[in-house]
């Protein structure tokens, strides 16, 4: 008899996006003639940069000839991509990394979800709340989150981020072993200044906390004062792992490529207090369970860093951030309180008159025919908010704002 991992059974059965889909389908069945605009999806809509397409064609072509065919690549990724990453994403910001500190993968969801493999099951976990659900669910699956009581996991510390504290999480007065930070943030679209991020690095160094820093949206930062990498903060290499993804940066949600930085000086402890290199453990984990992102994909990712590639992805990001601007202005003109949307492709909207996330979601669906994502789906502190994404078509964003204005007028 194969016994199952019963931690999986603790996960609440129903999922945010399937609940949304059900409600949208009900609306469509009862209102077959009405069109709806989806601003709830977290997926990009614009095609890949021409430079990436070209690089992929070329890589496919190499696969057709015996002399240039590639089979298994290095587990950690090809040096051509690792070097482009180090040069462009780090060295240009004054951060030195060596090739062995960068691990290419098929995306940040896998890496943020898998990183727990190298950490003991009884570490305490902290998250800012609301948050990308992968961080918590992956801890539930290995038993690290404890049990669910009143919508919160017993071994997870929730650090609230709301309008009241301007989405700046307060440093806890007790220590945590593992802390997830995501900036620019999904779902709130807010960021942390260098000073604020430094407080967390200092906390981590003082308390021997491991920070898992998800920077999937760093390419959307417009304000030059906001840090793109946690390693811009002194001492962070001793306490942080950084996750990056080409999904939102360059429309790779379907291509699949990202990377994780595990600095050589970063260590964790054994029960007896011996310090162990996390880089070594992650390397071992990846070489056992992962066989690398495809050569074609890695060539496409490399092309993001070419002069043409940089120009092309900048254009697409500007397109989305143009949407964000229109949406922010449109929503604010109706009197709604809107956060984010300036350094991230997400708008985090306070529901009026204190109505719940789900109620506002339904009202917006039925009255304005616009779909958002109920904030409470991202954690208890998300109640009373709704998330809209700027990843849609420009004309849809304009039309959605028109509808919302008419509805709330």
Ligand X SMILES: *Cc1c(COP(=O)(O)O)cnc(C)c1O
Q: Which residues bind ligand X (CB under 6 A)?
A: 42, 107-109, 132, 182, 186, 214, 216, 245, 247-248, 253, 258
Q: Which is nearer to ligand X, 89 or 267 (CB)?
A: 89
Q: Which is nearer to ligand X, 139 or 247 (CB)?
A: 247
Q: Are 343 and 123 in contact (CB under 8 A)?
A: no
Instruction: Find the shortest distance in angstroms from Cβ 96 to ligand X.
Output: 25
Instruction: Find the shortest distance in angstroms from Cβ 361 to ligand X.
Output: 19
CA gap 227, 205 in Å, rounded: 19
Q: Which is nearer to ligand X, 107 or 292 (CB)?
A: 107
What's the order of all strands across the beta sheet hosting 125-129? Answer: 102-105, 258-261, 240-245, 210-214, 178-182, 125-129, 156-160
Tokens of 232: 């811009």
Q: Which is nearer to ligand X, 131 or 404 (CB)?
A: 131
Instruction: Find the shortest distance in angstroms from Cβ 55 to ligand X.
Output: 19
Instruction: Find the shortest distance in angstroms from Cβ 132 to ligand X.
Output: 4
Residue 62 burial (CB count, 10 A) = 15
Q: Which is nearer to ligand X, 259 or 358 (CB)?
A: 259
**DSSP code of residue 386:** E
Q: Which is nearer to ligand X, 114 or 334 (CB)?
A: 114
Residue 267 burial (CB count, 10 A) = 18
* Residue whose CB is nearest to ligand X in the complex, by number: 107
Which uninterrupted H or E stretch holds 276?
strand 275-277
Q: Are 141 and 5 in contact (CB under 8 A)?
A: yes
3-state secondary structure of 178: strand
Instruction: Find the shortest distance in angstroms from Cβ 311 to ligand X.
Output: 23
Burial grade of 64 (CB within 10 A; 0-12, 13-18, 19 or more):
exposed
Q: Are 189 and 348 in contact (CB under 8 A)?
A: yes
Q: Are 127 and 180 in contact (CB under 8 A)?
A: yes
Instruction: Find the shortest distance in angstroms from Cβ 376 to ligand X.
Output: 17
Q: Which is nearer to ligand X, 299 or 387 (CB)?
A: 387
Instruction: Find the shortest distance in angstroms from Cβ 185 to ligand X.
Output: 8
């Amino acid at each position: 008899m194969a016994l199952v991992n019963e931690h999986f059974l603790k996960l609440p059965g129903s999922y945010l996006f399937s609940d949304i889909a059900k409600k949208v389908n009900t609306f469509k069945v009862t209102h077959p003639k009405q069109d709806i605009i989806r601003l709830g999806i977290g997926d990009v809509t614009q095609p890949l940069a021409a430079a990436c397409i070209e690089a992929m064609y070329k890589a496919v072509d190499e696969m057709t000839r015996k002399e240039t065919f590639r089979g298994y690549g290095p587990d950690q990724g090809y040096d051509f991509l690792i070097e482009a990453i180090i040069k462009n994403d780090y060295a240009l910001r004054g951060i030195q990394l060596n090739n062995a500190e960068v691990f290419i993968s098929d995306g940040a969801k896998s890496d943020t979800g898998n990183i727990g493999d190298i950490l003991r099951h009884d570490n305490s976990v902290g998250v800012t709340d609301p948050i990308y659900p992968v961080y918590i669910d992956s801890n539930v699956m290995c038993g690290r989150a404890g049990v669910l009581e009143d919508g919160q996991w017993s071994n997870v510390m929730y650090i609230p981020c709301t309008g009241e504290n301007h989405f700046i999480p307060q440093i806890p007065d007790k220590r945590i072993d593992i802390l997830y930070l995501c900036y620019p943030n999904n779902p709130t679209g807010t960021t942390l200044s260098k000073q604020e991020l430094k407080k967390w690095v200092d906390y981590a160094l003082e308390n021997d906390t491991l920070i898992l820093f998800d920077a999937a949206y760093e390419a959307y930062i417009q304000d030059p004062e906001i840090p793109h990498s946690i390693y811009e903060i002194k001492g962070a290499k001793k306490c942080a792992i950084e996750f990056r993804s080409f999904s939102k940066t360059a429309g790779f949600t379907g291509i699949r490529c990202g990377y994780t930085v595990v600095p050589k000086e970063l260590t964790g402890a054994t029960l007896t207090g011996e310090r162990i290199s996390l880089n070594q453990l992650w390397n071992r984990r990846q070489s056992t369970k992962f066989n690398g992102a495809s050569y074609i994909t890695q060539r496409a990712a490399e092309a993001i860093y070419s002069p043409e590639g940089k120009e092309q992805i900048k254009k697409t990001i500007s397109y989305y951030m143009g949407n964000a601007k229109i949406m922010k202005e449109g929503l604010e003109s109706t009197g709604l309180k809107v956060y984010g949307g300036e350094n991230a492709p997400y708008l985090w909207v306070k529901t009026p008159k204190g109505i719940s996330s789900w109620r506002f979601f339904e009202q917006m669906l039925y009255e304005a025919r616009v779909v958002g994502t109920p904030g409470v789906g991202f954690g208890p502190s998300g109640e009373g908010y709704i998330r809209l994404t700027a990843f849609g078509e420009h004309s849809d964003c304009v039309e959605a704002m028109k509808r919302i204005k008419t509805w709330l007028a």
